[in-house]
Amino acid sequence: MMKQNNLFLFIFFFSIIILSCACSGSSKMMKGIIVEASVISAPQGGFNVKTKQGQTIERELPSTLWESFEYDMLNNRYVGGSGGAQREEFCVVSGIKDGLDIGTEVYIVEEARCLWVLHKIDDDNSNRYNISITKVRSVETGVEGWTWSKAVKISD
């Protein structure tokens, strides 16, 4: 009985020590710099579509900072002979807001989990991009918001 109590106390204190060591690490925010963002667009089509040379388009993305976004599952690609649509998780952002100036130093606060963005420009126009978004905070002004992940170049 005494051995069991000693073993229990040893495991308990060992667990406390491990937990305190794991939690004591300082979480330092990564820094980045705002750069011009672009995305490569390729034609979307049916099953087994092959891209020909010259069909891809590089699109410059507007320098934008959104306060928030929503996750939504949307039909994205048509797959297979049956023409079924594949649903994927999108980050949905709306409007064109003022962004941070190129060269602005920022803290990287959070990364969105989506791999696609639906940018609703207005009620009639929207674009889909194979890109994610990143939440940043300006080192100088403290302004915070979501921007294109490719608009943030990690500096440290």
In this predicted model, what pLDDT tens digit does every residue of 66-96 receive, in sequence order? 999 999 999 876 555 556 678 899 999 999 8
Average pLDDT of the segment spanning 99-111: 96
Query: What are the Cα distances from residue 33, in Å, to 9, 23, 91, 102, 152?
Result: 50, 29, 22, 8, 6
pLDDT of residue 41: 78
8-state DSSP, 66:
B
Task: Show Cβ contacts of residue 91 under 8 Å, excluding neighbours closer than 6 positions.
Answer: 69, 70, 71, 112, 114, 116, 117, 118, 132, 133, 146
Task: With a cut of 60, say whether residue 148 has pLDDT above it.
Answer: yes
- Higher model confidence: residue 76 or residue 141? 141
Task: Tell me the pTM.
Answer: 0.73
Average pLDDT of the segment spanning 135-141: 97
pLDDT of residue 47: 43
Kindly give the residue spans of alpha helices, DSSP state H, lying in the chain.
2-23
